[in-house]
């Protein structure tokens, strides 16, 4: 249940929010949930069972492997354990849902490897013991990372530029009834100023530089984690970049090499 807000408090947009409607002050009509076909549910259940163990056991095994790879943040590991990744991939790929691999989710996009998701979330959460505050995600994709972050943050704003993926994430997340996740359809390069300032910003697409809008919307004391093209080599390569915003200015640290889809502007 959404907490009661005192009189005069500006209401946050609900789930899912749509930027083109919010700009004109019009609240979006609630979407009618569509029940997945029984055949899809049966196929998913059979596929998970085909892994030789139930979903909970497979997730625990995945998290144990993440710990072996060097992920030590207990909140990250707990969140990764808490979200069923197979619910966010196509039924034909569900047998691979708990492998440390990226998988196609349509429209030329992918769901990131569990190892990459947990690494970025650990960097974002570094220096904290409890939950983060309000966080902005650039690139909702299928909604998996937003679901994981919902267990680590007080509020998650997640923006997606592709209508098809925005709708898919909304459907994927509906069963979880996450009142602290707000899905937005719009240009992620512009961020989402109405929810700012953010304690953290995380991006699932890489560009030549971190957009200034993201820096502006990051709170002092906040951290941004994003893939960015690095060096002058051809073809250009991506590296994870951590940006810390302090009272004295911006501190940027380049981490390991990664591979994400390109960051693009506009909506489609």
Which residue stretches of the chain are H helix? 19-22, 38-49, 55-68, 74-82, 114-125, 144-150, 163-174, 212-217
Residue 220 in this model has a pLDDT that exceeds 80: yes
More confident residue, 264 or 33: 264
Q: Are the C-beta atoms of residues 155 and 125 closer than 8 Å to each other?
A: no
Residue 7 in this model has a pLDDT that exceeds 60: no
Segment 179-207 mean pLDDT: 97
Residue 39 in this model has a pLDDT that exceeds 50: no
pLDDT for res 55: 81
Residue 201 in this model has a pLDDT that exceeds 50: yes
pLDDT for res 232: 61
More confident residue, 90 or 36: 90
Mean pLDDT of the chain: 85
pLDDT band per the 50, 70, 90 thresholds, residue 74: very high
pLDDT for res 211: 97
> What percent of the chain stands above pLDDT 70?
78
pLDDT for res 54: 64
pLDDT for res 14: 44
Residue 21 in this model has a pLDDT that exceeds 50: no
pLDDT for res 239: 96
pLDDT tens, position by position, 127-155: 999 999 999 999 999 999 999 999 999 99
pLDDT band per the 50, 70, 90 thresholds, residue 77: very high
pLDDT for res 36: 39
More confident residue, 31 or 71: 71
Map out the domains of the chain as residue ranges.
17-22+103-258
Give the Cα separation of 49 and 47 in Å (integer). Answer: 5
* CATH no., domain 17-22+103-258: 3.40.50.150
Catalytic residues: 112
pTM of the model: 0.81
Residue 48 in this model has a pLDDT that exceeds 70: no
Give the Cα separation of 103 and 112 in Å (integer). Answer: 7
pLDDT band per the 50, 70, 90 thresholds, residue 234: low
pLDDT band per the 50, 70, 90 thresholds, residue 189: very high
């Amino acid at each position: 249940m959404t907490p009661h807000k005192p009189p005069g408090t500006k209401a946050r947009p609900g789930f899912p929010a749509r930027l083109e409607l919010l700009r004109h002050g019009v609240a979006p009509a609630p979407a009618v949930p569509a029940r997945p076909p029984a055949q899809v549910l049966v196929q998913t259940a059979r596929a998970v069972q085909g892994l030789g163990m139930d979903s909970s056991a497979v997730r625990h095994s995945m998290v144990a492997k993440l710990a072996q790879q060097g992920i030590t943040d207990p909140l990250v590991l707990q969140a990764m354990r808490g979200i069923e990744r197979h619910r966010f991939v196509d039924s034909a790929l569900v047998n691979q849902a708990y492998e440390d691999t990226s998988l196609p989710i349509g429209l030329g996009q992918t769901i990131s490897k569990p190892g990459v998701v947990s690494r970025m979330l650990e960097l974002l959460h570094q220096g904290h013991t409890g939950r983060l505050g309000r966080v902005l995600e650039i690139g909702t994709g299928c909604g998996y990372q937003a679901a994981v972050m919902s267990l680590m943050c007080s509020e998650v704003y997640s923006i997606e530029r592709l209508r098809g993926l925005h709708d898919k994430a909304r459907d994927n997340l509906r069963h979880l009834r996450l009142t602290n996740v707000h899905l937005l359809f719009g240009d992620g390069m512009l961020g989402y100023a109405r929810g700012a300032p953010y304690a953290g910003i995380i991006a699932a697409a890489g560009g030549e530089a971190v957009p200034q809008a993201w820096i502006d919307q990051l709170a002092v004391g906040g951290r941004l984690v994003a893939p960015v093209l690095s060096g002058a080599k051809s073809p250009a390569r991506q590296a994870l970049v951590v940006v810390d915003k302090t009272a004295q200015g911006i501190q940027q640290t380049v981490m390991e090499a990664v591979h994400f889809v390109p960051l693009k502007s506009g909506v489609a």
